[in-house]
């Protein structure tokens, strides 16, 4: 039963860390730099995730080598996923580019007639 509680505690801490690193500690310039490898935004975002991850596995993994491995994995995964999401978002936005006449809280409402016209 102790392992279940430890696993749940670790997962809750990782979720809280992820929320803080993605929404609280991320300014707009960091978001805009995710598409470009020459800008530091994506590197810094992934670094924040990796550094914030280091103290959490101390609950369940006493070996420092495993903790460093998890932090490096966190860095690589967050960097690649963030970059791919930004690139795919821009590709999709260009593919379905339509004029924004109607919007709801900043989101463009795509009417079927406009969607067909843009293809």
Per-residue pLDDT at 95: 65
Mean pLDDT per block of 10 residues along the chain (119 residues) reads 78 91 83 77 89 87 88 92 82 62 48 49
Residue ranges making up the domain that contains 51? 2-118
8 A C-beta contact, residue 57 and residue 70 = yes
Q: Can you give the pLDDT at residue 51?
A: 93
The confidence score (pLDDT) of residue 94 equals: 67
- H helix intervals, 20-100: 28-32, 41-53, 64-95
Q: What is the pTM of this model?
A: 0.67
User: Domains in the chain: how many in total?
Assistant: 1
């Amino acid at each position: 039963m102790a392992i279940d509680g430890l696993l749940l505690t670790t997962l809750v801490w990782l979720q809280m860390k992820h929320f803080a690193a993605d929404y609280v500690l991320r300014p707009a310039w960091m978001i805009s730099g995710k598409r470009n490898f020459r800008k530091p935004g994506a590197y810094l975002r992934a670094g924040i995730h990796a550094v914030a991850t280091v103290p959490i596995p101390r609950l369940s993994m006493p070996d420092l080598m495993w903790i460093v491995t998890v932090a490096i994995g966190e860095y690589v995964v967050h960097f690649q996923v963030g970059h791919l999401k930004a690139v795919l978002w821009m590709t999709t936005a260009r593919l379905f580019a339509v004029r924004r006449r109607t919007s709801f809280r900043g989101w463009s409402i795509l009417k079927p007639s406009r969607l067909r016209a843009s293809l």
